[in-house]
Structure 1
């Protein structure tokens, strides 16, 4: 005798917390935070722009101010508008760092000929930290570190020149050390945050890969269980009924079940397409045909159908579960000669889902006394519906008949 395996429990999908840390989310936060940070520093720079510009040629002073502050405005807008799409913001940040370096190197060229030296550091000093943070975000760590060293060296040199206020070397080096310290801290922090986000992404990717593999294996196991259950529902059940047939009525019932089994096996390859939704009316027609084949005396009723549809996998599970419930009733509830009344009621609604109730007025049974080896109710009915998110309720009283309610509700 073939052994019907129990369908395995469906693997649980990994829980991906909404708003959890990820590389994409980190990049978006960094871009927006840097844009806001740049805006605050730019506002603080405006008074110094007016002071330093009086020592520069007017075209040069206007050009560098318009270009640098214009780029900062572009960065702020792209960070606010694009959200998770950080590429436009990163491009604007990269352009700013390059332009800033060029402007810093050309600063002495823009100084008025014959003009006195600056009384204080150039206003570009207030933007050097912004340029370094942008470089930390846009460039690879090694290139960001190289940019930090190079731009600091250029600034320290200019700071000691008349164009930079002729500051003492010690003061210029102190300013440079301050800038490098902030830039290095920002680079280390950004690198650490990105590394943590990459680890989270890798862990989630591994979890999803494992879940996909488990889901694939689960689908294969369900298919094996379905084939085993189909054999149990048809061939095995028919053989058992034929072996027990003693009276003419029992033999006729065995013949009817054999005919139904043959038709079921023949139609098995063309079951409901699980990839598309199936009209409930089609399910009702197929279930009515199966009921008539099993016993002409089964009363099949359809309450509501309308235009309701259910997933193909649900339709297949409901059909096979209801068919097995009818076979169980024919096998165990009593013969038609015993005046057993069997009823199938199908009801469906677009919002509430689908319900199929199989009832009989036969012998009934005590569920706690059903042997574990009896797989019809446990595997062919309960497990099938559980696999598609449905449920089965069984109400039976010894001597008082049996009612099996198969239910499925659409997920909200």
Structure 2
């Protein structure tokens, strides 16, 4: 009873299987994640660096910059032909300001810095140039031959406004700039066009600007939807990982409690002699060691251990049991398995052997209790614990009996393996542990 009291008095440190997985996600490990780990814990948020939106903005800005350069070169000959009709200084200052703005947009689009500022500047400068056009002529009453060269830059200005301004202001600009141009077009300095021709130019420029705005807006909306879906998928993935880690942790803790702590308490309670008390004390020490190991070993350890090392551990554990086992094992120097799988297979094998010793009865006949460890066809290993004892009916095992379900089946399943239990009353029991499970090859 002293062993039971000492075991109960010591603190139980529960391993946190979730901790390693959550830290990996928060630090950017595993799948590429656009958001922060702390955001994922609280719920889905927009990513800090949206991938799709960034790409769309880059494509749009570079397209507008390229179109701006092409249209500027198209307007250059007409601007040179009309420069003698303008006031000397402003005739050069206005096109120079627009040329510098278009160049700045091109540079900003390439380096991905200051795109909104430069495009917004071009849109404002163009609108100011339209308003000032009639006041900067040498002879305002002289009728201009043809269209003002600013006409060829109208589409560039509306595209820049669509990139730089919010949706409402960009929509207003796509109406305002063509209307101002239509008014200028009816003036002598704008060519003295009639109202119908000026209206047609205005409608054409408005429709073209609206189409560009709609395309840019739809691209941005689509990119935002993709980024939101990506963030939501990442959040769901993180949630699934946490749930899986919690389930693995629950199986591990439940198995340890059932295998070690509960067995220690039962042995201590039944101890009626010094030898039995000493055995219970040893079981308590072993239980505490396993609890400490579970708390110290980090979750998600992906290291590999040789299969032969696992067979040695299982054989040493079997030799400590009260009933003997006949060993049938195969040396496999090339087979290695993950650490977490090795620990799960070891614990499940020991629990299966303990169950055989405790429940198979005394009427064991040849070949008695056998322990077979070998490689399987899936490139993994198979561990088989068999006896010729009293057997049982697996379909009628009470749900409160946790040995088979928690300590063996769920523990092995959490490591990616499978367990088959074959037993008949009066004909013995065979527990076969496969890692990886036999269905893995067919699924692959």
Q: TM-score, normalised by structure 2?
A: 0.63
1:96 to 1:223, Cα distance in 2 relative to 1, 3 A: closer
Helix, strand or coil: the match of 2:170? helix
1:60 to 1:300, Cα distance in 2 relative to 1, 3 A: farther
CA distance in 1, matches of 2:103, 2:335: 59
Helix, strand or coil: the match of 2:433? strand
Deviation string 1:349-405 (CA, Å, 9 cap, x unpaired) is 9xx775341322423555445444443222222222333433334455663651412
**Cα offset, 1:103, TM superposition:** 4.9
**Cα offset, 1:270, TM superposition:** 1.5
1:304 to 1:139, Cα distance in 2 relative to 1, 3 A: farther
Higher mean Cα deviation, 125-134 or 235-244? 235-244
Is this contact kept in 2: 1:68–1:100, CA < 8 A? no
Match for residue 3 of structure 2?
none
CA distance in 1, matches of 2:189, 2:124: 16
Match for residue 92 of structure 1?
115
Match for residue 290 of structure 1?
317
CA distance in 2, matches of 1:374, 1:391: 19
1:205 to 1:335, Cα distance in 2 relative to 1, 3 A: farther
CA distance in 1, matches of 2:279, 2:381: 26
For these two proteins, the number of residue pairs brought into alignment is 376
Match for residue 19 of structure 1?
none
Backbone CA RMSD of aligned residues = 5.1
Q: Which of 165, 172, 186 lines up with 2:191 in the alignment?
A: 165
Match for residue 371 of structure 2?
343
**Cα offset, 1:74, TM superposition:** 4.5
**Cα offset, 1:230, TM superposition:** 2.2
Helix, strand or coil: the match of 1:303? coil
Helix, strand or coil: the match of 1:381? helix
1:274 to 1:206, Cα distance in 2 relative to 1, 3 A: same
Is this contact kept in 2: 1:317–1:388, CA < 8 A? yes
Match for residue 136 of structure 1?
162
**Cα offset, 1:158, TM superposition:** 3.9
Mapped pair 1:276 → 2:301: yes
Equivalent residues in 2 for 1:186-201 (5 A)? 186-187=212-213, 190-191=216-217, 194=220, 198=224
Deviation string 1:276-295 (CA, Å, 9 cap, x unpaired) is 33442475665454333335
**Cα offset, 1:54, TM superposition:** 1.8
Match for residue 28 of structure 1?
55
Is this contact kept in 2: 1:135–1:147, CA < 8 A? yes
Is this contact kept in 2: 1:280–1:305, CA < 8 A? no
1:243 to 1:367, Cα distance in 2 relative to 1, 3 A: farther
Q: Which of 398, 406, 410 lines up with 1:383 in the alignment?
A: 410
Is this contact kept in 2: 1:325–1:404, CA < 8 A? no
Alignment gaps of 5+ in structure 1: 1-9, 11-15, 17-21, 79-87, 246-251
Match for residue 50 of structure 1?
77
Q: Which of 320, 336, 343 lines up with 2:347 in the alignment?
A: 320
1:308 to 1:268, Cα distance in 2 relative to 1, 3 A: same
CA distance in 1, matches of 2:137, 2:311: 92
CA distance in 1, matches of 2:108, 2:114: 9
Is this contact kept in 2: 1:259–1:293, CA < 8 A? no
Is this contact kept in 2: 1:257–1:294, CA < 8 A? no
CA distance in 2, matches of 1:234, 1:338: 29
Higher mean Cα deviation, 149-158 or 198-207? 198-207
CA distance in 1, matches of 2:280, 2:398: 23
1:139 to 1:334, Cα distance in 2 relative to 1, 3 A: farther
**Cα offset, 1:174, TM superposition:** 4.2
CA distance in 1, matches of 2:82, 2:123: 19
Alignment gaps of 5+ in structure 2: 1-17, 19-30, 32-46, 85-90
Q: Which of 434, 437, 440 lines up with 1:406 in the alignment?
A: 434
CA distance in 2, matches of 1:170, 1:98: 31
Is this contact kept in 1: 2:53–2:224, CA < 8 A? no
